Amino acid sequence: MISDSDKLQEIITIDSDLNKIQDQDILLERILQVARRLVNAEAGSIYIVNDGKLEISYSQNDSLQAKLPEGQKLIYNIFKIPINKKTISGYCAKTRRIVNIEDVYSIPESAPYTFDPFYDKVSEYHSQSMLAVPMLSNMGNLLGVLQVINKRAGSEGYEPFTREDELLINHFANNVVITLERAQMTRALLLRMIQMAELRDPKETGAHVNRVAGYSVEIYERWASKKGIPDHKIQKDRDNLRMAAMLHDAGKVAISDIILKKPARFTPEEYKIMQHHTIFGAKLFLDEQSEFDKLARLVALTHHENWDGTGYPGYINLETGLPEKTDADGQVLGRKGKEIPIFGRIVAIADVYDALRSKRSYKEAWKEEDVLEELRSLSGSKFDPEVVECFFEVYPQLQQVAQRYQDQEAQ
């Protein structure tokens, strides 16, 4: 059993690790993992305030996870609840008080909140002890609610969360809010850049780039795990990749409106001009200050390269704009196979998948089964076959990403 002093020391160490995470989604997932470990909770959820409601951001459950095939993640519904006193998390958010319940099925009738057993029935799980803690900024603003479920008691069974658990989780929640606020600010800055691109290209929406980024992270995690890449590198790459994938088409801001907003197919000349958005985007990150800059440059430059070498822009010197490799006819050579960085290969399929399944001003959304068949048919030509395989292995997680980041008209 870890002593309370050791747990406090662990929080200090964890704070340092969490401060290295820049992306909001990656951070929230990690916060919930750490919070559960600190109080030995089998399950938990983290809610973030969004449009005046609590939106579930991540949910974890070790018992249900253990029933899934290796490598598959727990799928949960994305939903919002009002900030009022009727639910446990809503009450915690409304009153900004810690809520510690010994048994959610024995809540007295006099309590203002109730427990909805619907999800227990659907998942065949039994919630018992529950601890909900408000996440408050230094200014007293509510950021969300951290909720842990079923404190383990030995090898089996559950026990109530203690007063010490309350203090520990509350201390942890208070410590991470600064990190969370910084991650939210980073996300906001990225989305503002996307909004600038959206003014030029209506296809480049915040929902689209968040979906492409979310798909890319899930595909990469499966690919990296199969390759035996160490977990610490996977976690670092996930953080940078998610942000880099959001900016994959940032170079479109340098393309003429006449081309970007054309509601018809491009002429060969127009298509050639459009291809330059990969180079313009990569140039934004030439002054490399971090691993993120390097990864963002690779993604922007190579997410339209094809596995068989027929993509673009090919081997171009970013500083001079001149070809670095040409064929016998003097045409620039495209990158081929594993010459394309893995991050470019992954964002390529994530981007095409989302484009095909999304409605646009110039086309209707494809049926899902037609999209999947198209991706299969392009394995080995446009896409890396291994990446396509990983795509289908994590397909349930991709559907959850799509549910989280729906287009405005679909919500």
Examine the residue annotation and report whether 252 is marked as an active-site residue of this protein: yes
Q: Minimal CA–CA distance to 203: which of 260, 248, 242?
A: 260
Residue 381 and residue 310: Cα distance in Å, rounded?
9
Of 7, 94, 151, 252, catalytic: 252
Residues with Cβ within 8 Å of 401's Cβ and at least 6 positions away in sequence, in order, are 211, 214, 215, 218
Angle at 137 between CA 135 and CA 140, to 5 degrees: 100
Q: What does the alpha-carbon distance between residue 103 and residue 124 come to, in Å, rounded to a whole number?
A: 17
Task: Specify which residues 172 forms β-bridges with.
Answer: none
45 vs 28: CA distance, rounded Å: 10
Residue 316 DSSP SS3: strand
* Count of other CB atoms within 10 angstroms of residue 62: 14
End-to-end CA distance of the chain: 46
Active site (catalytic) residues: 252
